[in-house]
Amino acid sequence: MPRPKSTVNVSFQSNNLTGRHGALLALLMVCGLTVVGQLYLTIPLVAAIGAQFGVEPGEAALSGTAFGIAYAAGFLIFGGLSDRFGRKRVIVLGLAATALATLLVGLMPSFGWLLAARALQGLCASIFPPAALSLVTEELPPPHRPLGVSLMSFAFLVAAPAAQLLAASSGLSLAALMLALAPGYLLGALGLWFAAAAPGPTNLPGAAPAAAPATSLLRDGGIIAAWAAALTVLFGFVCFFSGVQATAPQLGVDPQAVRLFGLPALAFAFAAAPLARSYGPAITASFGLVVAALALGLAALALPTLLLVASALLSAGVALAVPGLIATVANRASACNRARALAIYTFALFLGASLAPPLAQRLATLAAAALWLVPAALLLVAALGLIITTRRTAQPS
């Protein structure tokens, strides 16, 4: 007898990946890489932006800061939208809005308007990550969800070097890059409209009212610990490279070589899926946090060879911690509050990255090793807190 077809979210009815799942993941990864890449795209273009608008390089760097602050804040403002209006609808509208904002960035005639457009672009871009992660955890069959989260995490992590490489090697101005990227977001929105088939949470049986999710999140110690741990991940990552940049002349190392040495280790994001299946996402995340802390401890020894090893270890630790934390939050949150929980997680992640540069400068005035030992200690505390709270609190059924 032929198997009857379900009319509601067929990905929950089978443990097998389909062609639609593969297309969905590929589209989400490409969109994630290009959306998150906007955070790093202006880094190699600071001098060109300064020359174009007649501002100093330090002021030109605000083109990245304007995007980053709005991007982080947007997770809190828009993070819960897909809980109420559906993952697919919010993702498609968010990508369309990002396309429009990206077009505006490319057309701005003055530096002040450029900053305003970049802030708008950051707000629009922030709609995508939490909704996309929620879609992955709901659309994919349960055995394959850790792999989906790892793939999305890998795309988000690779966005940093890939966006800078694109901007530096293309030879295009910021305006030309934005005008070239804007249509890509529209194409991504169109593709995801056809590839995504999950219903909105408002259609799920037993969906909680809008006021309930926030209360339930605050009662889960494991989710709170994961949010706190997220603050330390990119904080330690950025502090490491700030320290390398500051001490490179004394140590005789090439900062670019240190960065490149750590790139292949980002592929450890794919190891997070089997580790999460075997040991659980919280243990996987905690292991990644400990590895990152050990890497920073090695860096504090300030030996050129150890800095290269530390770069690879740190990238591997971050690559394991990020998908592990995402899966911890996503698995413990219910369907009606999953996007909100992931939005707060992502806000914490990028808040840590934003706090790192000024705090790293302050730590450097105390001692060079403090640049690495302080974030290492924070990572270890975060790992311990995550293990304790996830063992004491039960995951929602």
Domain CATH code at residue 222: 1.20.1250.20
| Tokens linked to 153 | 């995490």
48 & 176 share domain: yes
Is residue 10 predicted with pLDDT exceeding 60? no
69 & 165 share domain: yes
196 & 297 share domain: no
174 & 75 share domain: yes
Q: For residue range 187-239, list pLDDT tens digits in order.
A: 999 999 888 875 544 444 444 444 444 677 878 888 999 999 999 998 898 78
250 & 197 share domain: no
The 3-state DSSP class for residue 277 equals helix
219 & 115 share domain: no
CA 206, CA 204: separation in Å to the nearest integer? 6
End-to-end CA separation in angstroms for the chain? 33
Q: Which of 145, 167, 201 is the last residue of a domain?
A: 201
102 & 225 share domain: no
Residue 343 · residue 90 · CB < 8 Å? no
Angle between helix 87-107 and helix 128-139 axes, rounded to 10 deg = 150
DSSP state of 206: T
Q: What is the pLDDT of residue 204?
A: 45
262 & 304 share domain: yes
247 & 382 share domain: yes
Average pLDDT over residues 125-130: 89
- pTM for this one? 0.73
Q: What is the pLDDT of residue 199?
A: 54
149 & 226 share domain: no
Residue 6 included in any domain: no
Is residue 394 predicted with pLDDT exceeding 60? no
Residue 337 included in any domain: yes
301 & 193 share domain: no
Q: What is the pLDDT of residue 245?
A: 64
Residue 52 · residue 157 · CB < 8 Å? no
Residue 128 included in any domain: yes
Q: Which of 201, 236, 265 is the last residue of a domain?
A: 201
Is residue 93 predicted with pLDDT exceeding 50? yes
Average pLDDT of the chain is 83
70: domain range?
Answer: 19-201
> Number of folded domains in the chain?
2
| Tokens linked to 280 | 């659980």
